[in-house]
Every structure is written in structure tokens, then in C-alpha cells.
Structure 1
Amino acid sequence: MDLNLRKAILSNIASNDQEQLEATIVDAVQNGEEKMLPGLGVLFELIWKHSDEQDKQDMIEALEQGVKQSTNG
């Protein structure tokens, strides 16, 4: 991902509170638009970097379950 894109996304959400961040994620997921994927990627990167090992393992397990459900459904 272009570093400028990452910085632009972070700049756009820099002043957001928890409610606004949640709304951003919910909106992006519900709309399912391809153009939202880079932003979700940047948000996930932040979450990953600030998570402990147990949280990371929980995310991997949730991801694995989601992938299995998506490919079997």
C-alpha cells in the first residue's frame, strides 16, 4: 500500500472518538465497497500493532472461522 494513502487514511480519522471509529468500520463492512478495503486494512494494521499475543490469536481464530463460513456457505 502506498505510504501516502496510509497517512491520508490516518489523517482522516485522527480526531475520531470510539463511536466514530466504530461507525466507520460498520459502514465500510455493511456497504461492502471495494474502495473501503484499503481503509479497513489500515485500521486492522493499527489494531494488530496494539494487540497482545492473546488478542492476536483470538483474531486469527475468528478470521479462520469467518473464512471457513464464507467458503462453505
Structure 2
Amino acid sequence: MNDRVDHVLLEAMQLAPAERSMVVLSLLDSLQGASDSDEAVVASWIAEARSRHDDLVSGRVQGMTADEFSSWFKSL
């Protein structure tokens, strides 16, 4: 990744879980139609993002703070 992407990711991680889900869905929606052959892949990612959003909202899973994400990301 590059500095610009890293910055966007770290900023996005400071949003509330529901807000992060909306960012993800919006980005995935923006890819739809980029290539007709990729339509099924995009639809699959959108379904996954919605499923993860539902898990966060329901409390089945817990998100991580921006600091936790930053530490995890730097360890990659």
C-alpha cells in the first residue's frame, strides 16, 4: 500500500462501526460496473460487507479501535 491508502484506512478506522460499514458498502458499490465480468465478484463482496455490518450491529462480533488496527496493520 502507499501513504495515501494508509492514511485513508487509519482515518476510516476512527469511524463508528456502522459508519465504517457504510464506507465499505459505498466503495464496493463504486466498483460495480467497472467490468461486466467482475459483477458477480462485486456482488459477493457487497453481500459479505452487509453480513459483517449485521454482525457488528447485532453484537455478534466486536470491532477494533483505530489504535488496535494501526498496531495490527503495522505488524503485517
Band the TM-score falls in, shorter-chain normalisation: 0.3 to 0.5
Which structure has the highest helix share of the two?
Answer: 1
TM-score (norm 2): 0.42
TM-score (norm 1): 0.43
Higher relative contact order (CA 8 A, sep 6+): 2
